[in-house]
Amino acid sequence: QVQLVESGGGLVQAGGSLRLSCAASGRAFSTYNMGWFRQAPGKEREFVAAIKWSGGLTYYRDSVKGRFTISKNNAKNLVYLQMDTLKPEDTAVYYCTADPNYSDYVSNGRIDYWGQGTQVTVSS
């Protein structure tokens, strides 16, 4: 079992930055692949970014490439999502996730563990 708690959401103007954090508890955190999803009002939940358990491989949706950076600190059981040059269309609830299979992030989105989410609002 892995428990995930997000923090760092808030209100920011377009062009600004936010850093989301995700604290994970449970055994074997360092062996889990981690990722972020988001869901905007009235829209389906969508994949944002993922990082392999070793930290050596990352994957992003096209619309955030070059603006968002995912990172992982296995020693502190933390995952981050640095979001720069934010746009109003980035407004959503952001969810931290964990899964033993990296391919689940790339292919089917069937993720085992989810946090409760943190709201990110970008004003124009």
Question: For 5-21, what is each residue's pLDDT tens digit?
Answer: 999 999 999 999 999 99
**Confidence band, pLDDT 50/70/90 cuts, at residue 86:** very high
User: Residues 6 or more apart from 52 whose CB is under 8 A from it?
Assistant: 33, 58, 102
In degrees and rounded to multiples of 5, residue 75 shows phi and psi of -65, -30
Question: For 23-75, what is each residue's pLDDT tens digit?
Answer: 999 877 788 999 999 999 999 999 999 999 888 899 999 999 999 999 999 88
**Confidence band, pLDDT 50/70/90 cuts, at residue 85:** very high
What span, in angstroms and rounded, lies between the C-alpha atoms of 114 and 95? 7
Please give the pLDDT value at position 112. 94
Please give the pLDDT value at position 118. 98
- Nearest of 124, 115, 40, 43 to residue 81 by alpha carbon: 115
**Confidence band, pLDDT 50/70/90 cuts, at residue 108:** confident
Please give the pLDDT value at position 1. 82
Instruction: Label residue 89 exposed, middle or buried (CB < 10 Å: 0-12, 13-18, 19+).
Output: exposed
